Each structure stands twice: as structure tokens, then as C-alpha cells.
Structure 1
């Protein structure tokens, strides 16, 4: 059965499946113009022998209806422009598998054929044009103003089939290289960029969860995960991702599709629920600021009978099932609505972990801060009258004739009979809008009987519409904190003692920005939050790399380590302090020169001779030595006589190396130089090579101590297996140990770990 409702019109397509033949043998089209009170059978208008397979409605003009015939019998379209009252039939020369309507142009349609061809129509299906062959199923989208940057091929390989995703202003693709997938994103039809995750995050699978408010929320399964995913949240462009929550539970549906245990609460931006796996236990967490902070759910104080519940955080909490039904006629385990902010209904349990046993129904009317138990068994819940009425129907395989109503956001429930004969319920419908107080229950009186439709109209319960004084203000908060996502938001809620029909929802009464605090900022890419709350560079991240990637004369954003949560509306406070500052790109040292010491270390003991080796990676031939290279503030003409320069020119075959130590220039044609440091401290050496009009430069810092020693470290051979495709992990470990290992010994000063040789 397929429903369509538009104002007072309801269209129903029913099909009879013959299990012996393994096919559909009959179909019927029904139409009601009085919201389900009476129905007219339209088989004679579409063809008595026509078998229909699907019903489509134009999303931008619901007067336009399209019916598909069963492709096993014929390939035709039936089109209506009067809400399904009359139809015109058009034959097709291909078999339609699925269709996609344009989000704005009501007559534009994409049709995907059973032989993987993509067709388009700009006449609402009356004529079709072949666009492309061998198209991947479900990987075709409407895009507006597609730029050349998106059309071009900016990738180091071929895009994986079945990887294209277009969602809001983002385009995502996947490429597999070296046995690993790599993900690319285009924002607002600009050129593609590779998505950047923390260095040791090695994705093997990714699912885009949300692209609301110009930000990407993605679930990533990393190389060491099997049944969990990590949640990452991006900057505005969708390029740089930071970790929001680890080890979120995942599962697969009957068709093998991955389902992430994450639920975005409708009506309140930035609010999510997630089931996280901790030591083989699954627990439910909630966030109000897009994943910056997560908390366990406080269990109800009492049970359904009013008995106290002893459940102490963090050892015991409320856990919820977060699966959402893909069937529009049945509810999933959890429900919320944009028009009823703060009201959440879900099934779950109380205890140390999420369980499939002893499942009860719970409701929150204050956005998850407090919860109440409402049923001891699972129920489907329908929102009517903008959430002013909640309808609950028991999950059961037995026929029923009662349902439950609540007019006070689930605080109390009343039992109502909707049919005199018990009905096997197959689904419940409350469309087209939640302003209505009419619902349609459909099912069978017996497994062999025809479809039964029961219209339930609750309008008679109310004698008036709500007035202004029937509402009270309700302030959104998180455990008493009123500033959420940088603003204080106050909503209208109907007073629980008032029984009036709400009609159209009034929305939020007021929104007032808050002063920015550290809580409004997350750690920027490459930074991690430490125990003191500060965002500091991760051991693998060097903030100076940003400046190295830009050119002289340009500018870059120098991160403070923080970035404001996208769509956070806070003002002033620490905003200026935590916001990245534009900074001019520094001059780049020429590439090609490398300075090392003869023993490979950049640490020396006081009084020891240090030999520096100057190595050119690219040797330039010299035709003329520029005298002006020495007429600078660095060298000064007083250091060099012109005849000395001439002699060096005559004897030079490839390059010249001046070495600066303690601002004392020394000119030599040798590839090395020895120097003895007589005092402790950090000493900077700068080497320049002049070759023709090219000058190459490198700078190194050498640490001189009165006494030091080097330690030799060895690692187990399997560490490479735990750091796949990251050959530089040894260098990262080296950097961490160099920073952390400080030893104080009697009679000596600081003994630093100077160099490490890693062995497998």
C-alpha cells in the first residue's frame, strides 16, 4: 500500500502479490477528497487491466501526480495535473527503476532505467532525453551552476564507483590508492580538496551523517575498528575534521546497509544522541553543541508506578535505541519533530548499558534533561497538532482496538478505542501536516481480509483554538546552562492544563546571544584538548606548516588552537582571543640545501669539535658569480676584498658556500666546516649557497650542553602493523620523547635525549 495526502485529498495505491506466481497480479488506485471519509476507486480511469507499481508526487507542486506501470507487463507513465482526478498515459521505450525530481523546477525529472541508463525530462515525463549510459545506481543528483572546477578531474586516479554523494552544498567522492580509500570534497561547487583527518586516523569507510548549517558531520570507520565508527566534524569547507566522539555503535540492516547509532534531534540545532561502545558495553550519550561535549542521560526518578529508581551516574543511566524507521507508516525506536522542540519519545532501558531486554518507553519534554517512563512495552508514537497531542499504539502482532492519547507532552495518557473490531495494524499515517488532528490507521481484520482504513478525527475533543495566554515560555537548557550554541532560546509551550488546538506552530519566542566563553570553542584541526582544558598541538602536528604552504605577499589564518562551533551565535567575550588571526606569509628559504653534522646529531658537548656537512640536493652550474650577493647587511663588503672574490670565481667549479656562525661570516668552497662551541646554549647556524642568480639557504639550531648522552631505543617488530601507511611514525615518537624525556643528575645539568636509532 502506498499513501499520498495533499490537503483534503488522499491517494492510495494497493497491490496484490501472488506468492505462488512470485509477482503482482492486481493493483487498485483509490482517491478520497474528504480526508479519508469516503474513497473512489479509479481503476477505470487508469485502465482496468493496468497494473501499477509506484506512485510519485511532484515535491514542488503536489497537484502533479505520476504513476508507473509494472515493467514486467508494460512500460508506461500515467500523469495527472489535478491531484489525481484524471490521467494521461504515455508509453516509454525504456523501463524506469527510480526517479528523482528537481528541488525547484516542478517539470524536471531524472529517470534511472533498469539497464543503468539515465534519462531526463523537462516536460514532467511527457518526453525523455538520454543523458548517460552505465550510471551507478542511486548515484545521480541535481546540481545547480556546476562550475568547471567540479567538472574537471582534480584527482590522482579514478573515482570509485558507487562513491559519489551530493548533499546540500557539498559533493563527496572516494578514490582508492595503495589499498586505502581517500575522500575528497567540493564545497559550493569549488575545486575538490582531500578531506583531512587527524594523522593517525586511517579511514576504511565513511558515511556522511549531516551537512546542516555549512558543516559536515561524518562517521568514519578506522583501520582498527569493526563494529564501531568515530564521529568527526569539519570546518565550513568540509576539509579539516576534528574528532567529536569515538567508538559509536554500528549495525547492518537486512539489505546490508550500515546504520550508525546516532540520532539528530529535530527542532533543536546542534543536539544529537549517540550510542557509544565502552569496554564492550553500549551507553547512550547526548550533546547540545554539535559534539563538543557529551553526557550520559539521567534516568527517571520514579518508574511508571511512582516507585523510586535508584540510578546513580555514571554507573547507571538511561540508554535509548536510536534506530529510525525508513517506513513512513511505522515509527522507529525514537521520534522528535521540528514543530515540537524539546519533546523526544524513545524506547530503551535503565542500567549500566543498553539492552534488548526489558525495553520500556520514555519521554522527555525538556530536550533530554529529564525523562519519564510512559509504557513498559514498546509503542509507536505519532505527533499530532504540532506535538500538542501524542498518540501511542502498542507494538504487537495481535489485533488491537485501543490507543493512548496525551495532551500534556506525555505526562499523562488516556485510553481511547478507535475501532469496534480488533484490527491487525500495518501502519499509521498523520500526514500531510502536523497541524492536523486526523490520523489514518490501516490494516486487516484477518490475514486474508482486504485492506481496512480507519479514519480517527480528534478535532471534536477541542472546542477552540489556543490563544496567547494559553502558552507559557520555556527556556532551552542543558542541566541548567541556558547558553547553548552561543544563545539563550525561549520557546512557546502550551500550558499542560489547557486543552485547546494549537494549529500552526508559533516558533521560538526569543533568541538572545550570549557572551563567548571557552565552552563555545572546539579544538582546531591538529590540536587536542588536554586535562587542563587547553587545546594544544597534537604530537603529530606542526602549526608552522600552515605558513610554509603560502607564498610571500599572501596571508594565512594563524590558528589559536581553537575554532568556534559552526552556527554558534555567541558574541564578544573570548571570541577575539580564540579566533584565528590573518598573518602575512613569511619569506621562504630556498630549497635544495641541507645542513647536517658528521655524526647525524644536532646536539654537542661543550668544547667538542662539530663538523657541519653542506649538501646540495640540486647543483646549479655557475657562469658568473654575482658580486652583489656579498654586498648585504649579512656579510658586509668589509669582510671580503674584491681580489679574493675574483680568485674564488676562478677556482670555483660549481658552487660557493658561506657559513654564518654567531654572525661571523666565513666563505669557503669546501663542502664542510668544523667549529668548536665554547659556551652552553642554543646556537643557530645559517648556510647560504650562491649559484648564478639563485641563492639557497638552510638554518639549523644546535644545542650545546656541558654534558649529555644519547640513548638507543628499540621497538617491537609489530609496531609497523599498528601504524599502517605511516612510515614517519618513528619520527613522531622521537619528537614526543625528545620533549618529554628530561633527566636531572647530581653534579650535571640537564641531560637530554639527543638522538635515537630505532630498530625493528
Structure 2
């Protein structure tokens, strides 16, 4: 779509608009509020009736700007001759480059006349008092056409004895000389030629008042254009007089009564088929604004706003322009809570700034209560503090429900924001049973520090699975199906940090276990190193190494120090007869052999006694624990 302003008028536009596969020319006298097709001339140059009527047939113009500064555009108008428009175009159902001719309008585009059947270049002479035309041809020419009556009649003038390829015309801006200069070349190989033409002889005198007549600007018969009745003074067509420079062209401009097309639709409103502006489906009405309180006023839109440069005058009992309206007291609405940077997460210890967006209801007596979700809340009665933001520091990690409640005497409104307070992980510990019974559920858990309540994601890899099990809690139940050693790994993700811990679990059909406790003074000599429990386990294992069965020692976490000895069945035990031995009977012998015995552990500088308690787990013949 191409738009073009008509020189000398505010609000008159010409446009080429694409409709499907066709391009058509439209004109607007209301700065784009209403558009209509151009009326084609009633007759052609020969006086024959054209019978061209919209919408099936109309006039279409080539709205193209010339790249050569010395040749005119395909459409031209001049402020010094208001209402005169000269353009290249065609008559038909759409814009075309076939059967192109030249057309002129003397009334700002309301009506049109054809002046040439072929495309010409047309210039305005003497501030628009005359027109000069040269045919747009690829062959050299020796004559031009001049009209003194707005293109109704043309006189041919020979400017050169030899035909010239005309490349452009230079206009002398000095009105005292009345000279035009044509430049071009006689052949493609010849030098540039410059020909001066003095056209002063066309005019016999200076124009007087009798050479002018009033001209009324119309909008398709209506006297009001852009809200004004505009009257111009224009030279009578055919008067052979010099216009002169600086003469005022507009006589008067009186305001008209406004109509609906003197307005465009305001924000949030859309033009309907009948011309009215109605609210769009997404628009929820005007707001009094944040600073509107009782006793004050605000500019409230009715859905219309006057077109820029329109000078109409509103009348009647229902003006459509935005009007002042008193601020009314109403309940708070539109409350929205956010952080200063619209972020929903922050590290522990950050000074988080909360912003409250709301329509205060036209009253300053509005209370705001902001609950930070961590047991702390604040209340404000002066909204100016709220608009600047409220700051709060969270000392622990977690997800906090931040609630803002706004209340006045007419009602309440609230908004909730869920804020994630994160803290980078520093340590993760995987707790898993040292020995598990095949086919029975076992519990594993992961402990993180610092505590990440509802903020951590746990990824579990158990045995040989390639896809992790994902949980939001640090607990998991699993049933081992294969005897032997199974690996369990857990990754914990929180606050942009990922940590991992792994444990090995022995899986057996059945086992015995004995609990060990140590003398209290062992805690006094315990070195503060992470591998201390593994050292104790190795000492116990070495002490009990006389047992031929598989032993597994696990030193339990916490104080006082305790340990658990697991006695596992051998992989295969054969009797003298070659039959498979009874593993449970063998385990019972081991238990009786080691119950109520005392073992001495040599640990650096101390001799520590270990007593094996008679507290253990029995296993029945089916391998079930009881």
C-alpha cells in the first residue's frame, strides 16, 4: 500500500491498495478515516461516454516518485495552486500499465478529466499559473505543450529546429525572467545540449483582483473537509496574467460541526461497519490512574479522539471527545505483586525488593498487608511507601508464598507470588543398608546440607539402570533382584550446584547380623577425620578374620560409636558327600562361637575392648528375617 499527501491540504490522501490480486486507487478527505474509489472521467478526449462507475470500474493512478530530480513524479500537486493534481493513470477495474494516459483534477481529487492519451511529463509554470508537458517517448522531439486553463486546451510550441532527446527541465526560480531550460542530446553520441525557452510572452499583464475567483474545497459534495469550510482564491482558468509571488491563497476557514469521521478510535476501541468505535474484546475499560483520589478529576476516553489537524467544533448533548470525570471511590482491583526485576528466585541473604501494582480505588485510605511467607509480615496505610518497593531478606532456603492484600472500606483484593530462595549445596550423604535381602524392599535416603526444603531434585541410579529415577524427596524404596554387590548413586541438584554420593549394597538371600558397641572412652580418642569409621571397620574385620565365612562390618553413624557385623553365607559350601551344605546351620555356629566373646583392638596408643552383643537378627530356613 502506497500513501501520498495532496500538497496544500491537511488530511487529503491518495493511496494504492492491494485487494487480492488487484491494486486500486483510493482517496480520503479525512486523513484515512474514510476511503473511496476515484471517479473516472465521464467522457474521453473525443467526447465519447466512458460508462465507468465504481466499484467495478474507476480511475487508478501511478503514485510513483521520480528518481531523476529534473523530471516530475508520475503524480504532482503544488501548494500555490490548491486543488490541481496531475497524474499518470488508467481507467478500468484495476491499476495497469496498459492504456496509460494523463489525467488532471481541478477540485482536489473529487472529479477528473483526461488531458493526454499517452504518458507525458508535466511541470507547473509560474507558481502553477500554467502547465508545460513533454511526451514521454524514446524518440527525440522538437516541441512541447503549454496550457493556461488547467489542461482544458493545449498549445504546441517548437523549442528546437532539430529533435532533441529531452533528459529533463530546469525551472528558473526567479519569477522576473520566466525561463525554462531543457537539456538533453541530439543523438546518443552527441554532447549535452541546453535550450532556454522564455515563456513570458504568454502573459500580457500582472493579475488583478478581477482575475481571481473563490474556490470551495469539497469532500464529494460536502462542504466540510477536516472539520473546516475552506475557501480559496484561485486564478480564473484562461486568464493570461502573471500570478506573482507570496499572494495568500486561502480566504477563510470556518469550523464545522463534528461528525463521527472527524474522530479516530481511541486506544482499546475498534471501528465498526457503521462508523462507531466500540471497545475491543481484550479492552477492560479506562482507569482513573494511580494518582486519582476523591475530589480530583481525570480525562476519561469515550472511545474517540479527534484526528490530528482536524478543526471541527463539537456540539450537542453527547460530545465524543475525552472528557473530565470525577474520581470515584471504589474497591481496590487489579492488584499484582512482583519483584523489582520480575525474577522468581533469589539466593539466601539477598535483599529482595517487592513491587505492588494496583488501582488504589480513588482513595488514599487504603491498607496494604504484605506477608513474606516466612513468618514476617508488614502493613502500610500510606501507599506511597508501597510504590517505592518493600525490601525483605530471607535467611533460609525454600519456596515461600508471598501474599499482598489490599483493603479499603469498599472491598479487598489480593495477589500471591511464589518465591524460590536458593542456597548452593555444600554436602550430600547417601544412607543405604550395607546388606539387603533379595526380593524385599529396602529404604535408601539422601541427606543434604544445608537443608534444601522442597528445593532439591534427586536423581537416583540403582544397579545397572541407564535412566535415573527422579524424586523431589530424599527417600526411595527399592527391591533388589540380583545377588551380589549393587551400586547406588544419587545426584542432588539445587541452587545451580550438583553433588553426588554413592554406596555399595551387598544383596543376599539371607544373612545374620550382630550389633557391636564400644567402650565410652573410645569417643574421647576419636580423631576428627572422615575415614575414621572405615578404619574401625577394618580393625574389626581383621580381628574376626579367623571366620571362614564372608564378613561385612559397618560402623553406624553418630555417637556413641556402634557397629554392625553381617555374616553372609558363602557362595557355595560342599559336604564330604558332595552335597550342598546348610548355610543357615553354619551361620548359627558362627553366631554361637562369637557371642559373649571379647576381642582386643589395637588402635594407635590405646587397647580397646569390643564386646559382641547377643543382639542379632535370626533368619529362618526360608531366608526370611524375623
Tell me the TM-score normalized by structure 2: 0.53
Say yes or no: does 1:534 pair with 2:276.
yes
The C-alpha deviation readout for 1:612-664, integer Å capped at 9, x for no partner, is xxx988548457999x99xxxxxxxxxxxxxxxxxxxxxxxx9999999xx9x
* Cα pair 1:592 1:618 within 8 Å, conserved: no
* Cα pair 2:265 2:305 within 8 Å, conserved: yes
Q: How does 1:318-717 map to 2 (within 5 A)?
A: 318-432=59-173, 437-504=178-245, 505-544=247-286, 546-548=287-289, 552=293, 556-573=298-315, 577-583=319-325, 588-589=332-333, 591=335, 619=373, 621-622=375-376, 686=412
Secondary structure of residue in 2 paired with 1:547: coil
TM-aligned CA deviation for residue 331 of structure 1: 1.2
Q: Which residue of 2 aligns with 1:84?
A: none
Q: How does 1:712-731 map to 2 (within 5 A)?
A: none
Secondary structure of residue in 1 paired with 2:102: strand
Partners of 1:329 and 1:356 in 2: how far apart?
23
Given candidates 294, 297, 300, the residue that maps to 2:41 is 300
Partners of 1:624 and 1:422 in 2: how far apart?
93
Partners of 2:34 and 2:97 in 1: how far apart?
27
TM-aligned CA deviation for residue 549 of structure 1: 5.7
Q: 1:274 to 1:574 in 2, by over 3 A?
A: farther
Q: Which residue of 2 aligns with 1:281?
A: 22
Partners of 1:582 and 1:450 in 2: how far apart?
71
TM-aligned CA deviation for residue 569 of structure 1: 1.3
* Cα pair 1:385 1:435 within 8 Å, conserved: no
* Cα pair 1:407 1:496 within 8 Å, conserved: yes
Q: How does 1:96-245 map to 2 (within 5 A)?
A: none
Q: 1:434 to 1:322 in 2, by over 3 A?
A: farther
Partners of 1:427 and 1:659 in 2: how far apart?
74
Q: Which residue of 2 aligns with 1:148?
A: none
Q: Which residue of 2 aligns with 1:267?
A: 8
The C-alpha deviation readout for 1:576-616, integer Å capped at 9, x for no partner, is 7111123466675584689xxxxxxxxxxxxxxxxxxxx98
Q: 1:374 to 1:583 in 2, by over 3 A?
A: same
* Cα pair 2:371 2:377 within 8 Å, conserved: no
* Cα pair 2:370 2:377 within 8 Å, conserved: no
Q: Which residue of 1 aligns with 2:491?
A: none
Secondary structure of residue in 2 paired with 1:312: coil
Q: Which residue of 2 aligns with 1:35?
A: none
Q: Gapped runs of 5+ residues in structure 1?
A: 1-247, 249-260, 595-614, 630-653, 666-683, 690-760
Q: Which residue of 2 aligns with 1:747?
A: none
The C-alpha deviation readout for 1:223-256, integer Å capped at 9, x for no partner, is xxxxxxxxxxxxxxxxxxxxxxxxx2xxxxxxxx
Q: 1:326 to 1:433 in 2, by over 3 A?
A: farther
Secondary structure of residue in 2 paired with 1:578: coil
CA RMSD of aligned residues (A): 3.6
Query: Which of structures 1 and 2 has the bigger CA Rg?
Result: 2
* Cα pair 2:227 2:312 within 8 Å, conserved: yes
Partners of 1:391 and 1:655 in 2: how far apart?
78
TM-aligned CA deviation for residue 326 of structure 1: 3.4
Q: Gapped runs of 5+ residues in structure 2?
A: 339-368, 383-400, 416-626
TM-aligned CA deviation for residue 414 of structure 1: 1.3
Secondary structure of residue in 2 paired with 1:386: helix
Q: 1:685 to 1:475 in 2, by over 3 A?
A: same
* Cα pair 2:370 2:378 within 8 Å, conserved: no
Partners of 2:154 and 2:27 in 1: how far apart?
27
TM-aligned CA deviation for residue 543 of structure 1: 2.4
Partners of 1:567 and 1:659 in 2: how far apart?
44
Count of residue pairs brought into register by the alignment: 365
Partners of 1:463 and 1:380 in 2: how far apart?
26
Partners of 1:331 and 1:624 in 2: how far apart?
73
Q: 1:389 to 1:497 in 2, by over 3 A?
A: closer
Q: 1:556 to 1:311 in 2, by over 3 A?
A: same
Secondary structure of residue in 2 paired with 1:577: coil
